[in-house]
Amino acid sequence: MITFEQLDFKPLEQRLGYEFKDKKFIIEALTHRSYLNEHTDHPYDHNERLEFLGDAVLELVVTENLYLNYPNPEGELTNWRAALVNAKTLAGIATQLDFEEYLLLSKGEAKDKNSKARMYILANAIEAIIGAIYLDGHWEGAKQFIDSFILSTLPYILKNKLYIDPKSRFQETAQEMLSVTPNYKVLKETGPDHNKEFTVGVFLDKDLVAVGSGTSKQEAQIAAAEAGLEVKNWNVK
């Protein structure tokens, strides 16, 4: 397993567009809590405090940018901001930056590459990196990173209406393209009452389009709608 002493951070810093003056910040930003359970001699803390700071910096930079550049109503700007800073968007940016090989994780977490938990680990690492850049390079360094990698995705989000929740997008597109309103059915429930897993199908008329799962019916419906958008190739018009 990789240890932080073996990592060369220069390629990642080049991709980030930021060179850390104090390397402890980038190491801490990439250290997941689970890593410390197996490396009790690790000299740095895990990244949750940096994530807390980075989340606040990210929200303020994005909010300021939207306020200064778009005269839209508050409700629309709120939806745009949510689409810019949500876990799926941030995890996608982490993948684009090829973060994964630099994450310091436990053996178990390192193996679990395709789960929802990994998406949140990647998203949280982006927020931690923002917090780390803010501490190492102050406001301007963090702002430049957010402008380059997060605010730059806004035109794509607006063009493809990704600020609208997946269920609404799927319904709007189905009605526009097919004059059909989707309906959702629970296909399966598993697990005890306190920890249920729901599997839901989204249908157009009687045709099953896609399936999604989640710990609530609403979460499963959203997952099914997201899958339906992919199946129908309706994410990009």
Instruction: Give me the DSSP letters along 132-173.
Output: HHHHHHHHHHHHHHHHHHTGGGHHHHHHTTTTS-HHHHHHHH
Please state the pTM of the whole predicted model: 0.81
Last residue of a domain, one of 137, 159, 181: 159
Query: Is residue 222 pLDDT above 60, yes or no?
Result: yes
Catalytic residue among 28, 51, 109, 127: 127
> How would residue 2 be classed by pLDDT, with cut points 50, 70 and 90?
low
> Which residues share a beta bridge with 204?
207
pLDDT, greater one: 194 or 79: 79
Check whether residue 87 and residue 171 sit in a common domain.
Answer: no
Shared domain for 217 and 105, answered yes or no, is no
Which is catalytic among the residues 28, 55, 136, 226?
55
Q: How many domains does the chain have?
A: 2
Question: Residue 127 catalytic?
Answer: yes
Query: If you average pLDDT over residues 102-121, what whole number do you get?
Result: 82
Kindly report the CATH number assigned to the domain that includes residue 219: 3.30.160.20
Q: Which domain holds residue 217?
A: 166-231
